[in-house]
Chains A and B, each alone.
Chain A
């Protein structure tokens, strides 16, 4: 009995040593990621939470301010709620339209028999344009007084909008700009569409499925993971939208930002203001790091909530086993 117990103990300690070794080996293999996670994610996140409760301007030592920064951002900072509304608008409207438009263009190009390469290039090229240059070009095209778009609209008798100069039209104008640069999604969707097994279409055709039914019951289920990818990355990118609204607002407002010019976010009437602009404004212009951290945390929480919602619901897009 005693011999058996001893043997079993030895076996157990041997197993434990093996498990420890395995765990260490696993940790060693994972260490690059763990270090990256700790340095680039966990520490900055904890720091951001910490500093959201501190008063800190980058020079004097930080001092505890309790919930002052949170109260300021939510109750007294006049830009927060408009920026939140604009960011949500961009997430919902722009992402939806970009996915639909990218998919539509991708579908069209896969159906074209000749000149596919030309169309593919034409639709992809705008994506390569630097954001600032693209936005300035759109501000020129959509200039309410001298832009060619309004000249054409006026000639055909359609009331010309104020685009980037009108708070009701500035976000649709931005959406047009984002749709113009939909080349990245088009390429991804094209690859996915070309990957759908032809036999499934043939089988559906034999069963008498219409073009819409083939799209709905063959194409969509096959490319659903790609749609999911486009939506999730689109939502995250829309949450971080910074450059285009800023440039559009500045160009349209007529203020060429000189060295001493004051920052004037969101022209016109805060309609192009986004949350990342507020992080920059509070953190790097006002040097109110505490409040900037609050806005950054709101942005983080929103991104997490959207992503979790999409991954949980999967929008009915990803089938079991995918």
Chain B
């Protein structure tokens, strides 16, 4: 019989309803800069992070070991593999096992973390330590870690998105180099596609929005869109960048075989995080992906040469070739923590100590998140990785802005993308207007 809601969720639901009345008078809200704990005394803090791969977990341990060596009085209890759902629930519950310091893989939730007061505003801590965030972090990273002036998170390594391509397949198809504009990309994707009956021997590019990192926000970054106007209303139907982005993706879907055929092929492919990823196996010749893919692809020992380049740009923005989508891991301090000064010491070390950032970046192949670390001679990387460092440093690179309800607006846009690419919605303009209205309603509901 259908399984009921998992017991953990049921218990949480009960705990929620049973404690709601108490919470009406006892807000667990933020303590801001009012941290009173003595960071020089012997203490233990809880650090929750999201990394789960063995090499990543090892790297986190090493990072924390470096901190404990520098701060022998502060002991860190590390808990890994934590999703944002779990972190959010723990931040609300508090208690001795709840995290003092958290890190999250997505910047989408920064708005929610800051506006709800789940994480403390770190501005007073930066001020107290004499660190200027604007001079410490790259511009985009500095922006995506705050919401309406509240800096409740800091960047802890970054992610940049670019294009991976199969150099061997390119050579075979007679293509000289990676495409720089979407027109070139379209032509190359078609040239690289080798049909096999109703399927493919090799697909030039998997354009479907379910093609893992081929999400709407990753495509659209190449069009430099403005998600919200100055009044905070959705710009989806007003900024032509979105219409251009949707049109391009739909055209790719249609030109490369149509939605049904592509989806059928997609269902046969290996998963995103496994060695049978279709780019590793040569089933797709070009892949929109983050900097971590290089290490994964090399580990899979593919039978072709891997090329790395920035994603193409629209033909009328050719001068901006080199930009891309930027996001990253973030760290913050729980508002429920009674050890915020000690927690700040850990956050400060992990995010601003140049050697710590560089060593961590070297270990997990992410983009360093401080300007000093980006320039550090200790940074070791495959020459191809430099492409992502350049994308991260490119002033035209963009991110998706923080919103009061987190990444809900991005999910709404993505869901519209599914309807549009599958042909369920045919009137793009009307669909964009409807989706923009939905985003505004969702934001109003969250206020």
Distance (whole angstroms) from the CB of B283 to the closest CB of chain A: 12
Shortest Cβ distance from B422 into A: residue:
A269
In the complex, A237 Cα to B50 Cα: how many Å? 33
- A262: which of B28, B50, B411, B424 is its contact (CB, 8 Å)? B411
Query: A78-B438, A258-B105 given as contacts; is B408 within 8 A of A144 (CB)?
Result: no
Task: Give the docked Cα–Cα distance between A237 and B3 (Å).
Answer: 7
Q: Does B303 sit within 8 A of A, measured CB to CB?
A: no
A60 located at the interface, meaning its Cβ lies under 8 Å from any Cβ of chain B in the complex: yes
Contact with B along A139-172 (1 / 0, CB 8 A): 0000111100000000000000010010000000
Is the CB of B267 closer than 8 A to any CB of chain A? yes
Whether, in the assembled complex, B70 has its beta carbon less than 8 Å from a beta carbon of chain A, the answer is no
A285 contacts B by Cβ under 8 Å: yes
**Known interface pairs A240-B5, A262-B414. Does A44 touch B28 (Cβ–Cβ under 8 Å)?**
no
A47 at the interface (CB under 8 A from B): yes
Which of B82-90, B315-323, B348-356, B382-390 lies at the binding interface? B82-90
Query: CB distance A269 to B418 under 8 Å?
Result: yes
Q: Is the CB of A60 within 8 A of B27?
A: yes
Are A259 and B82 also in contact (CB < 8 A) when A44-B14, A253-B210 are?
yes
**Interchain nearest-CB distance for A89 vs B (Å):** 12
Closest to B268 in A: A145
Instruction: Please provide the chain B residues from 80 to 110 with a CB less than 8 Å away from any CB of chain A in the complex.
Output: 81-85, 88-89, 92, 104-106, 108
Quick check: A56 and B446 within 8 Å, CB to CB? Answer: no
Which of these binds chain B: A8-16, A190-198, A286-294?
A286-294
- With a CB–CB cut-off of 8 A, which chain B residues contact A259? 50-52, 81-84, 104-106
Please, which residues of chain A bring their CB within 8 A of the CB of B419? 269
Q: How far is the CA of A252 from the CA of B263 in the complex (A)?
A: 10
A66 at interface (Cβ–Cβ under 8 A)?
Answer: no
Among B20, B269, B408, the residue within 8 A (CB) of A56 is B20
User: Complex Cα distance A269/B209, Å?
Assistant: 13
Closest chain A residue to B440, Cβ basis: A76
Which of B116, B210, B267 is in CB contact (< 8 Å) with A57?
B116
CA gap between A145 and B347 in the complex, in Å? 47
Q: For the complex, what is the distance from the CA of A90 to the CA of B2, rounded to whole Å?
A: 9
Contacts of B412 in A (CB 8 A): 78
Smallest beta-carbon distance A211→chain B, Å: 29
Is B29 interfacial (CB 8 A cutoff)?
Answer: yes
Q: Does any Cβ of B come within 8 Å of A68's Cβ?
A: yes
CB pair B272 A256 closer than 8 Å: yes
Q: What is the interface size of chain A, counting residues whose CB is below 8 A from a CB of the partner?
A: 69
Q: Which residues of B contact A131 (CB under 8 A)?
A: 3
Judge whether B445 and A68 touch: CB under 8 Å: yes
Q: A144-B264, A264-B411 are in contact. Are A241 and B441 (CB under 8 A)?
A: no
- Assess the B2–A238 pair: CB atoms within 8 A: yes
Q: What's the Cα separation between A289 and B24 when bound, in Å?
A: 13
Q: Which of A76, A90, A260, A276 contacts B441 (CB 8 A)?
A: A76
A259's nearest neighbour on chain B, judged by CB, is: B50
- Asked if B32 lies at the interface with its beta carbon under 8 angstroms from chain A, I say no
**In the complex with contacts A58-B116, A61-B27, A242-B12 CB distance below 8 A:** no
Does A263 touch B at the CB level, under 8 Å? yes
Asked if residues B116 and A287 are in contact (CB atoms below 8 Å), the reply is: yes
B271, A254: Cβ atoms closer than 8 Å: yes
A276 contact set on B, CB distance < 8 A: 4-5
Expressed in whole angstroms, the Cα–Cα distance for A279 and B419 within the complex equals: 24
Q: Does A222 contact B (CB under 8 A)?
A: no
**Complex: A202 Cα to B211 Cα, angstroms:** 64
Identify which of residues 249-272 in chain B touch chain A, using a CB-to-CB cut-off of 8 Å.
263-269, 271-272
Given known A60-B27, A264-B411, contact A254–B272 (CB-CB < 8 A): yes
Considering the complex, which residues of chain B in the window 1-35 have a beta carbon less than 8 Å from any beta carbon of chain A? 1-6, 9, 12-14, 16-18, 20-21, 23-25, 27-30
Whether A59 lies near B5 (C-beta < 8 A) is no
Whether B438 and A76, one on each chain, are in contact in the complex, defined by CB atoms closer than 8 angstroms, is: yes
- A47 near B20 (CB under 8 angstroms)? yes
Q: Could you tell me the distance between the alpha carbons of A249 and B303 in the complex, rounded to whole angstroms?
A: 33
Distance between Cα atoms of A314 and B276 in the complex (Å): 54
Instruction: Kindly identify, within residues 235 to 272 of chain A, every residue whose CB is under 8 Å from any CB belonging to chain B.
Output: 237-238, 240-244, 252-264, 268-269
* B199 contacts across to A, CB distance below 8 A: 145
- List the B residue with the shortest CB-CB distance to A182: B1
Residue of A47, A57, A184, A238 near B17 (CB, 8 A) is A47
7 pairs of A and B residues whose beta carbons are closest in the complex: A260-B105, A260-B106, A259-B50, A145-B268, A241-B2, A131-B3, A243-B3
Can you report 29 A-B residue pairs in the complex whose CB atoms are below 8 A from each other?
A39-B18, A43-B18, A47-B21, A50-B20, A51-B20, A58-B92, A60-B116, A61-B24, A61-B25, A72-B441, A144-B267, A145-B267, A146-B267, A178-B1, A238-B1, A244-B3, A254-B212, A255-B272, A258-B105, A259-B52, A261-B106, A262-B407, A276-B4, A283-B16, A284-B12, A284-B89, A285-B85, A286-B406, A288-B446
> 4 new A-B pairs (CB below 8 Å) besides A234-B1, A260-B106, A287-B88?
A40-B14, A259-B84, A263-B411, A287-B92
Interface residues of A (CB under 8 A from B): 39-40, 43-44, 47-48, 50-51, 56-62, 68-69, 72, 76, 78, 90, 94, 98, 131, 143-146, 162, 165, 178, 181, 184-185, 233-234, 237-238, 240-244, 252-264, 268-269, 276, 279-280, 283-289, 291
